[in-house]
Amino acid sequence: MKTLASQMKLEFKLFLREKEALFWTLAFPVFMIILFGFIWKEETWDGMPTIGYLLPGIIVMAMMTTCIVSTATGVVEEREKGIFRRLSLTPLKRQTLIGGQIINRYLTVLVQTALLVAIGIAFFGAAIDGNILLFWAVLTLGAISFLSIGFALAALIKNEKSAHPLSMIVFFTLMFLGGCFLPIDQMPAFLRPVCEAWPSLHLNDALRMIAIEKAGASDIWHGIPFLLGWLAGCSVLAVKFFKWE
Amino acid sequence: MNAVVEVKSLTKKYGDVIAVNEVSFEIEKGEIFGLLGPNGAGKTTTVELIEGLRKPDSGFIKVCGIDVSDGIDKVKELIGVQLQTTTLYDKIRIGEAIDLFGGYYQKSLPATQILDELSLSDKEDSFVEALSGGQRQRLALALALVNDPEILFLDEPTTGLDPQARRNVWDIVRRLRERGKTIILTTHYMEEAERLCDRIGIMDQGKIIALDAPRDLIAKQNLESAIELITSNGVSTEFFHKLPKVTKITQDEDRLILHTKEASPVLTGLIRLSEGNGLNLETISVRRATLEDVFLELTGKKLRE
């Protein structure tokens, strides 16, 4: 436990020292919500403030920067630089190392979410009208699901230099085609089945239904298997293809 | 015999290539043991197998009496490893790195003590990315020492260092041996092996072809003095067999190397022989035999390409 705590403390310090990661994880989503908040301050879509619709989308986007982009680039770097190799010569257990990273990233997601929700509610009239606990539970499932995508990417991407661009492609695809900003019924018809496959779409739908329509567990249930499916599939990929060197 | 490392019939294959071929040896407590050989000889793979980084195809390894194949966690507490290239996170401070690694072990030394020992005290708050090559090597060594290990593994510890930095590392290694540690190092620098090691195992193509103290390795091959000569007329080795007291003759491209236990009579005989036969000696030098000569004798190849 002591090792886990000191590992996490150090990773947190390192995270604060990486300006680029800090930008994408905190500055960028905050910038987006402030920007959109001002652009659509007086707007409504179907009777609710637009920002209320966009807030879950920005939360999901922020979550993906942490769980997909940060994770994939960070883990590939650690492997290719030989950091994992050096660590494997110490008594540090692999579960402790990866477990600490997963917990750290989840805590980052919680911080991102809290920050975005606070700004949305305080300045732009957003609200989470539904069950906060359910919102948090779905958020957590989403985070774990996206983390598995991040680790699967880390297992499949061999080159340190291509880790950032490739994970950004995945990020943007899941963001734009997953309805973070544009509702998918605004997309061309041939794209819609593709969008339906993305976990981000179902996460966005579920979070919006809880926040805006006060949906309960039974209402959002149909989207959950997609998140679980991605979680299972990517975990299998990650375990099968991951190399420590 | 107080063996801290026992290796028996160790074999490791990568596809068709036999990287380590039925290697057996023992390392005694408190000795500096070297594995010497050209690149690709199997030294690094052998050491990685002992450290538990790789699993052997056959054979067994015991470290401090513990079988590596099922007691690797206990073994990790007792060993320290300096890898050839140790990279860490760019933005970690030196002191933080040593504390971090210290936390992985059941017992660890204070960071200030280790920094002091390796002359890195003034760099405690520096980021790893700001260190020079020599400082990075010392940091890698510092990380290998956090748990005050019984056995230290150094993989090519002075590669890429300038002569002064190299000598500093040698001093540190000798001090560590004085404290009772056992040190296993791999190197392709003959001088390093000769100066530092109590015993050396010479490896080539996955096998240990000789294992002894440096002096004895040279003596056993009857190589003590080496007279190197280059002639402009290019005569064959048979010609020089006429000289008395020559124990061995080896040829390395256009150089002939005459080995002997007594250099003076050979030199005298050489001058007389060249005068009488119109031999044109371009270059002639006398030196003590080295491990390079041993390696050349045993394998017909040069230690360094």
**Alpha helix segments (H runs only) across A81-220:** 83-87, 94-124, 132-156, 160-176, 192-197, 199-213, 217-220
Whether the per-residue pLDDT at A185 is higher than 60: the answer is yes
Same domain, B161 and B265: no
- A18 neighbourhood in chain B, CB within 8 Å: 91
Whether the per-residue pLDDT at B278 is higher than 80: the answer is no
User: Which amino acid appears at position B263 of this protein?
Assistant: A
Span B73-98, pLDDT tens digits: 999 999 999 987 778 888 999 999 99
Closest CB to A18 among B51, B91, B96: B91
Q: How many CB atoms lie within 10 A of CB B188?
A: 18
- Residue A28 CA neighbour count, 13 Å, CB half: 16
**What pLDDT is recorded for position A70?**
93
- Is the ipTM higher than 0.90? The answer is no
**What pLDDT is recorded for position B52?**
92
- Asked if B133 contacts B161 with a C-beta cutoff of 8 angstroms, the reply is yes
| Separation CA B251–CA B300 (nearest Å) | 9
Same domain, B13 and B140: yes
Could you say which DSSP state residue A1 is in?
-
Whether the per-residue pLDDT at B305 is higher than 60: the answer is no
Domain annotation covers residue B231: yes
**What pLDDT is recorded for position A47?**
64
**What pLDDT is recorded for position A130?**
85
**Residue in chain B nearest A92 by alpha carbon:** B104
Q: How far off is chain A from B72, nearest CA to CA, in Å?
A: 9
Same domain, B135 and B269: no
User: Residue B28: CB partners within 8 Å, gap ≥ 6?
Assistant: B1, B2, B3, B4, B182
| Structural tokens at position A245 | 């060197």
Averaged pLDDT, A139-160: 95
User: What is the dihedral sign for C-alpha B170, B175, B177, B178?
Assistant: positive
**What pLDDT is recorded for position A46?**
66
**What pLDDT is recorded for position A92?**
92
Domain annotation covers residue B300: no
| Separation CA B114–CA B145 (nearest Å) | 7
Whether the per-residue pLDDT at A170 is higher than 80: the answer is yes
**What pLDDT is recorded for position A186?**
81
| Separation CA B236–CA B252 (nearest Å) | 12
Tokens 């190849």 sit on residue: B301
| Separation CA B6–CA B176 (nearest Å) | 21
> In which band, very low, low, confident or very high, does the pLDDT at B6 lie, cut at 50, 70 and 90?
very high
Of B214, B243, B278, the position where a domain reaches its end is: B214
Mutation target for B interface from A7, A81, A86, A245: give the one with most B CBs within 10 A.
A86
**What pLDDT is recorded for position A21?**
84
Of B167, B188, B214, the position where a domain reaches its end is: B214
Same domain, B17 and B156: yes
Same domain, B75 and B190: yes
Domain annotation covers residue B98: yes
CB-based contact (8 Å) between B101 and chain A?
A: yes
| Separation CA A97–CA B45 (nearest Å) | 25
Contact between chains at B83 and A13 (C-beta distance less than 8 A): no
Query: Nearest to residue B75, comparing CAs of B83, B66, B86, B84?
Result: B66
**Residue in chain B nearest A96 by alpha carbon:** B104
Alpha carbon dihedral B155, B160, B163, B169, in 10-degree steps, equals -30
Averaged pLDDT, A162-176: 94
Query: Nearest to residue B82, comparing CAs of B1, B159, B164?
Result: B159
Same domain, B201 and B255: no
Q: For chain B, how long is the longest CA-to-CA vector?
A: 75
- A243 neighbourhood in chain B, CB within 8 Å: none
Averaged pLDDT, A116-135: 88
% of chain B beyond a pLDDT of 70: 98
> In which band, very low, low, confident or very high, does the pLDDT at B1 lie, cut at 50, 70 and 90?
low
CA B226 to each of CA A167, B220, B222: distance values in angstroms, whole numbers, following the listed order: 62, 14, 10
Per DSSP, chain A holds a count of helices (H) and strands (E) of 13, 2
- B96 neighbourhood in chain A, CB within 8 Å: 10, 13
Closest CB to B103 among A2, A81, A89: A2
Same domain, B244 and B146: no
CB-based contact (8 Å) between B104 and chain A?
A: yes
Per-chain mean pLDDT for chain B: 89
CB-based contact (8 Å) between B86 and chain A?
A: yes
Query: Nearest to residue B7, comparing CAs of B20, A149, B19, B194?
Result: B20
Per mean pLDDT, which range of A67-81, A117-131, B133-147 is the poorest? A117-131
User: Which amino acid appears at position A10 of this protein?
Assistant: L
Domain annotation covers residue B299: no
% of chain A beyond a pLDDT of 90: 59
| Separation CA B22–CA B207 (nearest Å) | 7
**What pLDDT is recorded for position B237?**
74
Same domain, B237 and B210: no
Span B54-66, pLDDT tens digits: 999 999 999 999 9
Helix (H, G, I), strand (E, B) or coil at B163: helix
∠ CA A119-A150-A91 to the nearest 5 degrees?
A: 110
Most confident of A18-27, B94-103, B211-220, B266-275: B94-103
Domain annotation covers residue B295: no
Same domain, B202 and B233: no
| CATH number of the domain within which B44 lies | 3.40.50.300
**What pLDDT is recorded for position A84?**
93
Same domain, B206 and B114: yes
CB-based contact (8 Å) between B72 and chain A?
A: no
Domain annotation covers residue B185: yes
Q: Domain tally for chain B?
A: 2
**What pLDDT is recorded for position B61?**
96
Same domain, B92 and B200: yes
Interface list for A 66-95 with B (CB within 8 A): 81-83, 85-86, 88-92
Span B249-262, pLDDT tens digits: 888 777 888 888 88
> In which band, very low, low, confident or very high, does the pLDDT at B265 lie, cut at 50, 70 and 90?
confident
Span B115-128, pLDDT tens digits: 998 889 999 999 99
CB-based contact (8 Å) between A22 and chain B?
A: no
| Structural tokens at position A197 | 């496959």
Of B165, B184, B214, the position where a domain reaches its end is: B214
Q: How far off is chain B from A78, nearest CA to CA, in Å?
A: 8
Mutation target for B interface from A4, A78, A89, A94: give the one with most B CBs within 10 A.
A89
Domain annotation covers residue B200: yes
| CATH number of the domain within which B278 lies | 3.30.70.980
Interface list for B 11-70 with A (CB within 8 A): 51-53
Q: How buried is A111 (Cβ within 10 angstroms: 0-12 exposed, 13-18 middle, 19+ buried)? A: middle
Helix (H, G, I), strand (E, B) or coil at B35: strand
Domain annotation covers residue B99: yes
Q: How far off is chain A from B284, nearest CA to CA, in Å?
A: 48
| Separation CA B10–CA B157 (nearest Å) | 24
CA A143 to each of CA A103, A203, B1: distance values in angstroms, whole numbers, following the listed order: 11, 10, 57
**Residue in chain A nearest B104 by alpha carbon:** A92
Span A88-107, pLDDT tens digits: 999 999 888 999 999 999 99
Same domain, B135 and B201: yes
Give the residue numbers spanning the domain of B109. 3-214
Contact between chains at A81 and B105 (C-beta distance less than 8 A): no
Q: How far off is chain B from A92, nearest CA to CA, in Å?
A: 6
- B89 neighbourhood in chain A, CB within 8 Å: 14, 83
Q: For chain A, how long is the longest CA-to-CA vector?
A: 60
CB-based contact (8 Å) between B2 and chain A?
A: no
Query: Nearest to residue B255, comparing CAs of B278, B277, B227?
Result: B227
